Amino acid sequence: MTNDNAKPIFADFNEFYIKAVEPLKAANPIFVRLDGKTKGDTRVIFAYFLYQEKKWKVNADTHIDRLKIAFDLGAKGNDPFVIKALRDNNGEYLAIKGQPVRNSKLYIYAVEAK
């Protein structure tokens, strides 16, 4: 079992994308997801980043193309995310503004402050 504290924490989403996602994609151009798999759930955390004074965890089954959409929106000067409540209202997740929530393939969740 991996220690989540060993996962990198980035100052913001742009730093996360540039320092973690782009090198991964460059080294593995066939990867669709951060974990390199094509299907299946995972609770494995790829990395963390800070956004709106909260720490967010990015699950390894997040699709790289969705992260690219968010990065491109941010590069245009737009805030790419909207914070939404989980169905049970016991947490929050990030969704990309203007993208359908259903089948989003973006798995970024708020880390509860302890």
**What pLDDT was estimated at residue 68?**
97
**What pLDDT was estimated at residue 2?**
47
Helices (H), 5-112: 13-16, 22-27, 64-75
**What pLDDT was estimated at residue 35?**
96
pTM summary value: 0.88
- Give the residue with greater pLDDT, 64 vs 114: 64
**What pLDDT was estimated at residue 30?**
96
**What pLDDT was estimated at residue 5?**
58
Q: Kindly state the helix (H) or strand (E) to which residue 45 belongs, with its residue range.
A: strand 45-51
**What pLDDT was estimated at residue 1?**
44
The model's pLDDT over 21-57, given as tens digits with 9 standing for 90+, comes to: 999 999 999 999 999 998 888 889 999 999 999 999 9
The model's pLDDT over 2-19, given as tens digits with 9 standing for 90+, comes to: 455 589 999 999 999 999
The tokens of 17 are what? 């994308």
The model's pLDDT over 62-84, given as tens digits with 9 standing for 90+, comes to: 999 999 999 999 999 999 999 99
Quick one: DSSP state of residue 112?
A: P
